[in-house]
């Protein structure tokens, strides 16, 4: 049996229909659209059993996100010897990527809405007792360079729920400018500036590798930051967070991108090392 078949069996979804469209989400653990026999629609994340801890962490984060009203409800979790999987409600709407492709003239509308949504998420998650630590998940330092970047960060501004993969492929537009976030595996408690800087790094560094993103980067980054700061006020001392986000993002994407793409991203990151501009200078010519 395949991992998908084991997951459907474990979650009592035998006979459910796997959506004909390509799986959504990241390449390492895509999210599939599942239609149950009763007509309900779900999102199913499937991983091999040795990645069960990632499923457990994502499920915990997703439950908190749903409680705060910023993510879908968790329906089921299974971690066994054959498969690890997470079932959530399907968020009705279109991905922000699809909205940008369909209506690129509205990029500033979508980007500002994304900034305001992230600000609202951070406000809702302040001081929540269910928040988990970042040092056991994706954000834990993987190299001496990342440790150094973390040591350069100033004292925490606002500790809150941070998503750390908050970009157009993980945002669903559920209304005219209303959104929900999916893919909570990287999340935990941390300084809100980590999250904002990571979003900028995702877009400015890796965005140009994602088809039409290259044309949208300057407007998206600038307007996203404007939307965030319109909600909470100007962010201070962002340069160290941008440098950390660049290091962590490069570590994340190096195995997935071509040498030429990595070289371009590293060149942008080097410019960020030499500048304290916010948004970072490299974002305008990525």
What pTM was computed for the model? 0.92
Say yes or no: 79 and 209 in one domain: no
Q: Which domain CATH number covers 79?
A: 3.30.200.20
Flag whether pLDDT at 29 surpasses 80.
no
CB 265 within 8 A of CB 247: no
Same domain (yes/no): 222, 246? yes
**Cβ pair 179, 171 in contact under 8 A:** yes
Domain boundary (27, 58, 89) is at 89
Strands (E), the chain: 17-18, 31-35, 41-47, 74-79, 84-89, 94-95, 159-162, 171-173, 179-181, 188-191
182 & 250 share domain: yes
Indicate whether 163 and 278 sit together in one domain. Answer: yes
3-state secondary structure of 188: strand
230 Cβ contact list (under 8 Å, min separation 6): 112, 115, 116
Report residue 27's pLDDT band, with 50, 70 and 90 as the boundaries: low
99 and 166 in a common domain: yes
**Structural contact between residues 283 and 205, judged by C-beta atoms closer than 8 angstroms:** no
| 160 and 265 inside one domain | yes
The reply to whether 186 and 204 lie within a common domain is: yes
| Enclosing domain of residue 63 | 3-89
Q: Is the pLDDT of residue 284 over 50?
A: no
The pLDDT of residue 52 is above 50: yes
Q: How many CA atoms within 13 Å lie on the side-chain side of 134? A: 22
CATH of the domain at 152: 3.90.1200.10
For residues 102 and 214, membership in a common domain is answered with yes
Q: Which of 65, 89, 113 finishes a domain?
A: 89
The top-scoring range by mean pLDDT among 94-98, 176-180, 228-232 is 228-232
Residues 268-285 have a mean pLDDT of 83
Question: Do 107 and 42 fall into the same domain?
Answer: no
Both tokens of 231, joined, read 């909600």
* Whole-number pLDDT of residue 20: 54
Reported as a pLDDT band with limits 50, 70 and 90, residue 16 is confident
Do residue 119 and residue 22 come from a single domain? no
Residue 190 has pLDDT above 80, yes or no: yes
Residues 239 and 114 in one domain: yes
Q: Rounded distance, CA 30 to CA 51, Å? A: 13
Same domain for 178 and 216, yes or no, is: yes
**Domain count of the chain?**
2
């Amino acid at each position: 049996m395949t991992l998908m078949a084991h997951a459907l069996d474990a979650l009592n979804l035998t006979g459910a229909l796997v959506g004909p469209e390509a799986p959504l989400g990241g390449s390492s653990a895509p999210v599939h659209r599942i239609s149950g026999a009763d007509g309900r629609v779900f999102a199913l994340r499937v991983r091999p059993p040795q990645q069960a801890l990632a499923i457990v962490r994502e499920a915990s984060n997703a439950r908190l996100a749903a409680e705060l009203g910023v993510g879908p409800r968790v329906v089921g979790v299974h971690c066994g010897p054959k498969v690890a999987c997470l079932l959530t409600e399907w968020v009705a709407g279109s991905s922000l990527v699809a909205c940008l492709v369909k209506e690129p003239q509205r990029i500033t509308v979508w980007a500002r809405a994304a900034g305001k949504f992230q600000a609202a998420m951070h406000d809702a998650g302040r001081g929540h007792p269910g928040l988990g630590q970042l040092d056991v998940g994706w954000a834990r330092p993987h190299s001496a360079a990342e440790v150094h970047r973390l040591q350069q960060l100033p004292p925490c501004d606002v500790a809150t729920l941070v998503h750390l993969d908050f970009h157009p492929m993980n945002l669903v537009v559920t209304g005219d400018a209303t959104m929900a976030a999916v893919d909570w595996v990287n999340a935990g408690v941390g300084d809100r500036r980590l999250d904002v800087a990571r979003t900028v790094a995702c877009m400015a560094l890796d965005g140009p590798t994602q088809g039409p993103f290259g044309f949208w980067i300057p407007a998206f980054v600038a307007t996203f930051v404007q939307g965030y700061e319109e909600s909470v006020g100007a962010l201070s001392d962002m340069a160290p967070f941008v440098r950390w986000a660049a290091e962590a993002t490069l570590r994340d994407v190096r195995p997935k991108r071509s040498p030429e793409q990595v070289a371009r991203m590293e060149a942008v990151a080097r410019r960020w090392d030499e500048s304290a501009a916010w948004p970072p200078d490299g974002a305008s010519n990525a």
